[in-house]
Protein backbone atom coordinates (compact mmCIF):
# COMPACT_ATOMS: atom_id res chain seq x y z
CA UNK A 1 0.00 0.00 0.00
CA UNK A 2 1.12 3.57 -0.44
CA UNK A 3 2.33 5.38 2.67
CA UNK A 4 -0.65 6.34 4.82
CA UNK A 5 -2.51 9.46 3.76
CA UNK A 6 -3.51 11.95 6.49
CA UNK A 7 -6.99 10.36 6.54
CA UNK A 8 -5.60 6.83 6.83
CA UNK A 9 -3.23 7.86 9.61
CA UNK A 10 -6.08 9.48 11.55
CA UNK A 11 -8.11 6.29 11.11
CA UNK A 12 -5.17 4.21 12.34
CA UNK A 13 -5.03 6.24 15.54
CA UNK A 14 -8.81 6.18 16.01
CA UNK A 15 -8.95 2.40 15.58
CA UNK A 16 -6.08 1.86 18.00
CA UNK A 17 -7.68 3.99 20.67
CA UNK A 18 -11.12 2.42 20.25
CA UNK A 19 -9.67 -1.10 20.08
CA UNK A 20 -7.27 -0.71 23.03
CA UNK A 21 -4.11 -1.42 21.08
CA UNK A 22 -1.05 0.60 20.09
CA UNK A 23 1.34 0.73 17.16
CA UNK A 24 5.04 0.14 17.58
CA UNK A 25 6.96 3.16 16.27
CA UNK A 26 10.25 1.79 15.01
CA UNK A 27 13.32 4.01 14.70
CA UNK A 28 15.39 3.37 11.57
CA UNK A 29 18.58 4.86 10.18
CA UNK A 30 19.18 2.97 6.92
CA UNK A 31 17.38 1.28 4.05
CA UNK A 32 18.14 -2.07 5.69
CA UNK A 33 16.51 -1.21 9.00
CA UNK A 34 13.63 0.44 7.15
CA UNK A 35 13.04 -2.72 5.10
CA UNK A 36 13.23 -4.82 8.25
CA UNK A 37 10.64 -2.68 10.02
CA UNK A 38 8.16 -2.81 7.14
CA UNK A 39 8.65 -6.58 6.82
CA UNK A 40 7.95 -6.96 10.54
CA UNK A 41 4.69 -5.04 10.30
CA UNK A 42 3.62 -7.04 7.26
CA UNK A 43 4.51 -10.33 8.95
CA UNK A 44 2.42 -9.30 11.95
CA UNK A 45 -0.54 -8.12 9.87
CA UNK A 46 -0.23 -4.77 11.63
CA UNK A 47 -0.21 -1.21 10.38
CA UNK A 48 2.70 0.68 11.87
CA UNK A 49 4.81 3.77 12.31
CA UNK A 50 8.41 4.13 11.17
CA UNK A 51 10.39 7.07 12.42
CA UNK A 52 13.74 8.78 12.08
CA UNK A 53 15.53 10.81 14.75
CA UNK A 54 17.80 13.81 14.23
CA UNK A 55 20.86 11.56 14.32
CA UNK A 56 19.19 8.93 12.18
CA UNK A 57 18.27 11.57 9.60
CA UNK A 58 21.86 12.81 9.47
CA UNK A 59 23.09 9.26 8.99
CA UNK A 60 20.58 8.64 6.22
CA UNK A 61 22.01 11.57 4.26
CA UNK A 62 25.52 10.08 4.11
CA UNK A 63 28.72 10.69 6.00
CA UNK A 64 29.85 13.51 3.71
CA UNK A 65 26.51 15.30 3.88
CA UNK A 66 25.13 14.90 7.42
CA UNK A 67 22.05 17.04 6.84
CA UNK A 68 18.89 16.17 8.73
CA UNK A 69 16.46 17.50 6.13
CA UNK A 70 18.25 15.81 3.23
CA UNK A 71 18.33 12.52 5.10
CA UNK A 72 14.68 12.83 6.13
CA UNK A 73 13.49 13.48 2.59
CA UNK A 74 15.62 10.59 1.30
CA UNK A 75 14.12 8.32 3.97
CA UNK A 76 10.62 9.46 3.01
CA UNK A 77 11.20 8.93 -0.72
CA UNK A 78 12.61 5.43 -0.21
CA UNK A 79 9.79 4.46 2.15
CA UNK A 80 7.13 5.71 -0.25
CA UNK A 81 8.47 3.46 -3.00
CA UNK A 82 9.07 0.33 -0.94
CA UNK A 83 5.81 0.51 1.05
CA UNK A 84 3.77 0.20 -2.16
CA UNK A 85 4.68 -3.49 -2.28
CA UNK A 86 3.19 -4.33 1.12
CA UNK A 87 -0.39 -4.77 2.25
CA UNK A 88 -0.22 -2.82 5.51
CA UNK A 89 -0.40 0.92 6.15
CA UNK A 90 2.84 2.62 7.16
CA UNK A 91 3.01 6.13 8.62
CA UNK A 92 6.23 8.15 8.67
CA UNK A 93 7.27 10.20 11.68
CA UNK A 94 10.23 12.30 12.81
CA UNK A 95 11.31 11.57 16.37
CA UNK A 96 12.67 13.75 19.22
CA UNK A 97 13.54 17.25 18.05
CA UNK A 98 14.81 19.62 20.77
CA UNK A 99 14.56 23.39 20.54
CA UNK A 100 18.04 23.97 19.12
CA UNK A 101 17.33 21.68 16.15
CA UNK A 102 13.85 22.86 15.19
CA UNK A 103 15.15 25.24 12.52
CA UNK A 104 17.28 22.52 10.95
CA UNK A 105 14.79 19.68 11.15
CA UNK A 106 11.07 20.01 11.89
CA UNK A 107 10.37 23.54 10.65
CA UNK A 108 11.89 23.05 7.17
CA UNK A 109 10.19 19.66 6.84
CA UNK A 110 6.84 21.22 7.73
CA UNK A 111 7.50 24.01 5.23
CA UNK A 112 8.28 21.44 2.52
CA UNK A 113 5.05 19.56 3.24
CA UNK A 114 2.99 22.77 3.32
CA UNK A 115 4.35 23.68 -0.11
CA UNK A 116 3.57 20.21 -1.41
CA UNK A 117 0.04 20.28 0.00
CA UNK A 118 -0.60 23.69 -1.55
CA UNK A 119 0.21 22.09 -4.88
CA UNK A 120 -2.35 19.36 -4.34
CA UNK A 121 0.07 16.73 -3.05
CA UNK A 122 0.46 14.83 0.19
CA UNK A 123 2.87 15.65 3.04
CA UNK A 124 6.27 13.97 3.15
CA UNK A 125 5.61 12.77 6.70
CA UNK A 126 2.47 12.02 8.67
CA UNK A 127 3.67 13.42 11.98
CA UNK A 128 6.57 15.24 13.62
CA UNK A 129 7.69 15.41 17.24
CA UNK A 130 8.59 18.56 19.13
CA UNK A 131 10.59 17.60 22.21
CA UNK A 132 10.16 20.46 24.65
CA UNK A 133 11.16 18.46 27.70
CA UNK A 134 14.28 20.58 28.27
CA UNK A 135 12.44 23.91 28.45
CA UNK A 136 9.85 25.24 30.93
CA UNK A 137 6.31 24.00 30.29
CA UNK A 138 5.01 27.46 29.34
CA UNK A 139 7.66 27.81 26.60
CA UNK A 140 7.14 24.20 25.57
CA UNK A 141 3.44 24.83 24.95
CA UNK A 142 4.01 28.19 23.24
CA UNK A 143 6.28 26.53 20.69
CA UNK A 144 3.82 23.64 20.41
CA UNK A 145 1.02 26.08 19.53
CA UNK A 146 3.09 27.54 16.70
CA UNK A 147 4.04 24.10 15.39
CA UNK A 148 0.48 22.80 15.71
CA UNK A 149 -0.75 25.60 13.45
CA UNK A 150 1.92 24.72 10.87
CA UNK A 151 1.09 21.03 11.22
CA UNK A 152 -2.54 21.71 10.43
CA UNK A 153 -1.47 23.51 7.25
CA UNK A 154 0.80 20.57 6.33
CA UNK A 155 -1.97 18.05 7.08
CA UNK A 156 0.31 16.37 9.60
CA UNK A 157 -0.02 15.52 13.28
CA UNK A 158 2.20 17.04 15.95
CA UNK A 159 3.65 14.99 18.79
CA UNK A 160 4.52 16.87 21.98
CA UNK A 161 6.31 15.76 25.11
CA UNK A 162 4.83 16.99 28.38
CA UNK A 163 7.27 16.11 31.11
CA UNK A 164 10.77 14.68 30.98
CA UNK A 165 12.00 11.30 29.76
CA UNK A 166 15.13 10.24 31.61
CA UNK A 167 18.27 8.74 30.14
CA UNK A 168 19.82 9.74 26.81
CA UNK A 169 18.85 9.59 23.15
CA UNK A 170 20.66 11.31 20.28
CA UNK A 171 22.44 13.67 22.66
CA UNK A 172 19.31 14.68 24.60
CA UNK A 173 20.01 13.63 28.19
CA UNK A 174 17.90 14.05 31.33
CA UNK A 175 18.38 12.99 34.93
CA UNK A 176 16.25 10.26 36.44
CA UNK A 177 14.20 12.02 39.14
CA UNK A 178 10.68 13.21 40.02
CA UNK A 179 10.56 15.38 36.91
CA UNK A 180 9.88 12.15 35.01
CA UNK A 181 6.23 12.23 36.09
CA UNK A 182 3.70 14.49 34.33
CA UNK A 183 1.34 16.16 36.78
CA UNK A 184 -2.41 16.76 36.54
CA UNK A 185 -1.65 20.49 36.26
CA UNK A 186 0.58 19.77 33.26
CA UNK A 187 -2.23 17.86 31.58
CA UNK A 188 -4.72 20.69 32.10
CA UNK A 189 -2.22 23.27 30.81
CA UNK A 190 -1.77 21.17 27.66
CA UNK A 191 -5.51 21.01 27.00
CA UNK A 192 -5.85 24.77 27.54
CA UNK A 193 -2.98 25.55 25.17
CA UNK A 194 -3.50 22.97 22.41
CA UNK A 195 -7.19 22.15 22.69
CA UNK A 196 -8.64 18.74 21.97
CA UNK A 197 -8.33 18.60 18.19
CA UNK A 198 -10.07 21.76 17.06
CA UNK A 199 -6.69 23.50 16.54
CA UNK A 200 -5.12 20.49 14.90
CA UNK A 201 -4.55 16.92 15.99
CA UNK A 202 -1.67 16.09 18.29
CA UNK A 203 -0.20 13.15 20.15
CA UNK A 204 0.91 13.63 23.74
CA UNK A 205 3.91 11.91 25.24
CA UNK A 206 3.05 12.27 28.91
CA UNK A 207 5.80 10.94 31.14
CA UNK A 208 5.22 8.38 33.86
CA UNK A 209 8.78 7.38 34.76
CA UNK A 210 9.96 6.64 31.21
CA UNK A 211 13.70 6.32 30.60
CA UNK A 212 15.57 6.09 27.31
CA UNK A 213 18.34 3.55 26.96
CA UNK A 214 19.06 0.03 28.17
CA UNK A 215 17.70 -1.04 31.55
CA UNK A 216 16.96 -4.39 33.09
CA UNK A 217 13.36 -5.11 34.16
CA UNK A 218 12.67 -3.54 37.54
CA UNK A 219 15.17 -0.69 37.18
CA UNK A 220 12.63 1.63 35.55
CA UNK A 221 9.90 2.76 37.96
CA UNK A 222 6.87 3.29 35.79
CA UNK A 223 3.57 4.58 37.12
CA UNK A 224 1.03 4.07 34.29
CA UNK A 225 -1.77 5.25 36.56
CA UNK A 226 -0.48 8.78 35.88
CA UNK A 227 -1.84 8.40 32.35
CA UNK A 228 -5.24 7.41 33.68
CA UNK A 229 -5.26 10.41 36.01
CA UNK A 230 -4.25 12.77 33.18
CA UNK A 231 -7.08 11.48 31.00
CA UNK A 232 -9.55 12.00 33.85
CA UNK A 233 -8.54 15.61 34.59
CA UNK A 234 -8.48 16.44 30.88
CA UNK A 235 -11.95 14.96 30.43
CA UNK A 236 -13.22 17.01 33.36
CA UNK A 237 -11.64 20.18 31.95
CA UNK A 238 -13.42 19.54 28.64
CA UNK A 239 -16.75 18.70 30.26
CA UNK A 240 -16.61 15.08 29.10
CA UNK A 241 -17.57 11.90 30.89
CA UNK A 242 -15.18 10.51 33.48
CA UNK A 243 -14.41 7.45 31.34
CA UNK A 244 -13.40 9.46 28.25
CA UNK A 245 -9.77 9.51 27.07
CA UNK A 246 -9.16 12.90 25.39
CA UNK A 247 -5.42 12.42 24.89
CA UNK A 248 -3.90 10.27 22.15
CA UNK A 249 -0.90 9.11 24.15
CA UNK A 250 2.64 8.05 23.26
CA UNK A 251 4.88 5.75 25.33
CA UNK A 252 8.60 6.66 25.21
CA UNK A 253 11.49 4.86 26.87
CA UNK A 254 9.87 1.45 27.19
CA UNK A 255 12.97 -0.77 27.43
CA UNK A 256 12.78 -2.90 30.55
CA UNK A 257 9.02 -2.35 30.99
CA UNK A 258 6.94 -5.28 32.17
CA UNK A 259 4.14 -6.73 30.06
CA UNK A 260 1.62 -5.51 32.64
CA UNK A 261 2.97 -1.94 32.57
CA UNK A 262 2.73 -1.88 28.79
CA UNK A 263 -0.78 -3.34 28.88
CA UNK A 264 -1.93 -0.77 31.45
CA UNK A 265 -0.49 2.11 29.43
CA UNK A 266 -2.36 0.94 26.32
CA UNK A 267 -5.58 0.64 28.30
CA UNK A 268 -5.15 4.25 29.42
CA UNK A 269 -4.95 5.58 25.86
CA UNK A 270 -1.44 4.92 24.50
CA UNK A 271 -1.71 4.50 20.72
CA UNK A 272 2.01 4.70 19.85
CA UNK A 273 5.01 3.17 21.60
CA UNK A 274 8.53 4.07 20.53
CA UNK A 275 10.92 1.16 20.07
CA UNK A 276 14.56 1.78 19.26
CA UNK A 277 17.03 0.10 21.61
CA UNK A 278 15.48 -3.35 21.34
CA UNK A 279 15.34 -3.34 17.55
CA UNK A 280 18.89 -1.99 17.30
CA UNK A 281 20.09 -4.95 19.34
CA UNK A 282 17.91 -7.37 17.38
CA UNK A 283 19.53 -6.12 14.15
CA UNK A 284 23.15 -6.09 15.38
CA UNK A 285 23.35 -9.23 17.52
CA UNK A 286 22.98 -11.74 14.65
CA UNK A 287 25.59 -9.79 12.63
CA UNK A 288 28.10 -10.35 15.44
CA UNK A 289 27.15 -14.02 15.52
CA UNK A 290 27.48 -14.33 11.74
CA UNK A 291 30.94 -12.73 11.73
CA UNK A 292 32.25 -14.89 14.56
CA UNK A 293 31.00 -18.09 12.95
CA UNK A 294 32.26 -17.16 9.48
CA UNK A 295 35.39 -15.15 10.26
CA UNK A 296 37.58 -17.33 8.05
CA UNK A 297 35.31 -16.54 5.10
CA UNK A 298 34.86 -12.86 5.92
CA UNK A 299 38.58 -12.19 6.43
CA UNK A 300 41.32 -12.75 3.90
CA UNK A 301 43.55 -14.75 6.25
CA UNK A 302 47.16 -15.66 5.40
CA UNK A 303 46.90 -14.32 1.88
CA UNK A 304 43.76 -16.29 1.01
CA UNK A 305 40.81 -14.67 -0.79
CA UNK A 306 38.12 -15.44 1.78
CA UNK A 307 34.59 -16.38 0.78
CA UNK A 308 32.75 -13.71 -1.16
CA UNK A 309 29.42 -15.20 -0.16
CA UNK A 310 30.31 -14.52 3.47
CA UNK A 311 31.51 -10.94 3.16
CA UNK A 312 28.84 -9.90 0.67
CA UNK A 313 26.76 -7.45 2.79
CA UNK A 314 23.60 -9.14 1.57
CA UNK A 315 24.58 -12.36 3.37
CA UNK A 316 24.75 -10.93 6.87
CA UNK A 317 22.29 -8.15 6.02
CA UNK A 318 19.45 -10.61 5.43
CA UNK A 319 20.15 -12.28 8.76
CA UNK A 320 20.03 -8.91 10.52
CA UNK A 321 16.87 -7.76 8.76
CA UNK A 322 15.01 -10.98 9.52
CA UNK A 323 15.95 -10.79 13.19
CA UNK A 324 14.85 -7.16 13.47
CA UNK A 325 11.60 -7.95 11.64
CA UNK A 326 10.93 -10.75 14.15
CA UNK A 327 11.39 -8.24 17.01
CA UNK A 328 8.88 -5.90 15.35
CA UNK A 329 6.39 -8.79 15.17
CA UNK A 330 6.94 -9.39 18.88
CA UNK A 331 6.29 -5.71 19.60
CA UNK A 332 3.05 -5.83 17.62
CA UNK A 333 1.93 -8.83 19.64
CA UNK A 334 2.74 -7.14 22.96
CA UNK A 335 0.88 -3.98 21.92
CA UNK A 336 -2.07 -5.99 20.52
CA UNK A 337 -1.79 -4.48 17.04
CA UNK A 338 -0.98 -7.81 15.34
CA UNK A 339 -3.73 -8.74 12.90
CA UNK A 340 -5.49 -5.37 13.22
CA UNK A 341 -4.49 -3.86 9.88
CA UNK A 342 -7.47 -2.54 7.97
CA UNK A 343 -6.28 -4.67 5.07
CA UNK A 344 -5.82 -7.84 7.15
95 is catalytic: yes
Q: Is 338 left (phi over 0), alpha (psi -120 to 50) or beta?
A: beta
Q: How many CB atoms lie within 10 A of CB 47?
A: 27
Alpha-carbon torsion, ordered 232, 237, 243, 245, to 10 deg = -80
Q: Name the active-site residue from 14, 47, 95, 267.
A: 95
Nearest CA among 148, 101, 108 for reference residue 124:
108
Whether the CA torsion 321, 49, 131, 17 is positive or negative: it is negative
Alpha-carbon torsion, ordered 32, 34, 40, 45, to 10 deg = -140
Instruction: Tell me which residues are annotated as active site.
Output: 95
Amino acid sequence: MPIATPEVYADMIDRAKAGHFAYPAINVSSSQTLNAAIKGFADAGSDGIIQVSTGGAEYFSGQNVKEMVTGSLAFSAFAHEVAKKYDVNIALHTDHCPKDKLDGFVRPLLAASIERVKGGGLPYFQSHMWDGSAVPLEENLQIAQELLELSAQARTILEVEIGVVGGEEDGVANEINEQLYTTAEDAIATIKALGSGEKGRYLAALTFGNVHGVYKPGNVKLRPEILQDAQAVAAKELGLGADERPFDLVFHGGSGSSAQEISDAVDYGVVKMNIDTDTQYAFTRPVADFMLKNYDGVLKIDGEVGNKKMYDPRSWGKVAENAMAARVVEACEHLRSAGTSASA
